[in-house]
Amino acid sequence: MKLRIVYDNEAKGGLESDWGFSCLIEAGNRKLLFDTGASGAILSRNMQRLGIKKDELEIIVLSHEHWDHIGGLDAVLHQKVAVYIPNSFTIETKKKIKEQAAEVFEVSGPADIIPGVHTTGELGSGAKEQSLVLDTTEGVVVLTGCAHPGLDAILEAAKQFGDVYGVIGGFHGFDKLELLEGVEKLIPCHCTVHKTEIMDMYPEKAVWCGAGEVFEFY
């Protein structure tokens, strides 16, 4: 399972940084895009730089309906792609996606997307959000958008799929950092408010995140 950060508040290797998040998941020869950043133009340029073509995307998963996660969607939708969205998305957004995709799956509870890739289902109140849970030999790796439902609630939901080995994505304002003690790999990205504190508290297992970074799990 290979994760490539395509869009983030930070970037390296000639990629553009911008407020938002998008991550490519390569599971065997299958490619899934998790979130689409804020701008289709930036997303397209970063994808081009990384050699990712939108036609290769089999599945797009949207964590939640905030502009910095769905703003780039138009740039990656195509007639053969399946899109997984929280059931709570507005009717207008659902309609727009249905017009430009092969299939749209409205997610409520936990579910399998492809073998080894699960969704927590939509969690939280207010802006409901789904996170992905990826199987690895070390345990599961949790991939979050903004973690609005609270990273602790997301990690709790992820446990139904296995012991949590790693967490990557936006942690938002999560500050119960002692709860991350048992997690082996911490990759705080995007909107993580306490990124520096996490890096300082867990220097041996926290890793810098930015567009252009690649993380491989076995």
Residues that bind Zn ion (CB under 5 A): 66, 68, 146, 191
What whole-number distance in Å separates Cα of residue 2 and Cα of residue 218? 8
**Nearest-5° angle of CA 73, CA 76, CA 80?**
115
For residues 204 and 185, is the Cβ–Cβ distance under 8 A? no
- With CA atoms as reference, report the closest residue to 105 among 56, 59, 72, 71: 59
Q: How far is the CB of 68 from Zn ion (least distance, A)?
A: 4
* Cα dihedral 12, 17, 21, 26 sign: negative
Q: How far is the CB of 21 from Zn ion (least distance, A)?
A: 6
When the beta carbons of 27 and 61 are compared against Zn ion, the nearer one is 61
When the beta carbons of 134 and 191 are compared against Zn ion, the nearer one is 191
When the beta carbons of 132 and 191 are compared against Zn ion, the nearer one is 191
3-state helix, strand, coil in the chain (%, to 5): 25, 30, 45
Q: How far is the CB of 172 from Zn ion (least distance, A)?
A: 8
When the beta carbons of 25 and 27 are compared against Zn ion, the nearer one is 25
When the beta carbons of 121 and 162 are compared against Zn ion, the nearer one is 121
* Residue-wise DSSP of 35-97: ---S-HHHHHHHHHHHT--GGG--EEE---S-HHHHTTGGGT--TT-EEEEETTS-HHHHHHH
Q: How far is the CB of 123 from Zn ion (least distance, A)?
A: 13
Q: How far is the CB of 150 from Zn ion (least distance, A)?
A: 13
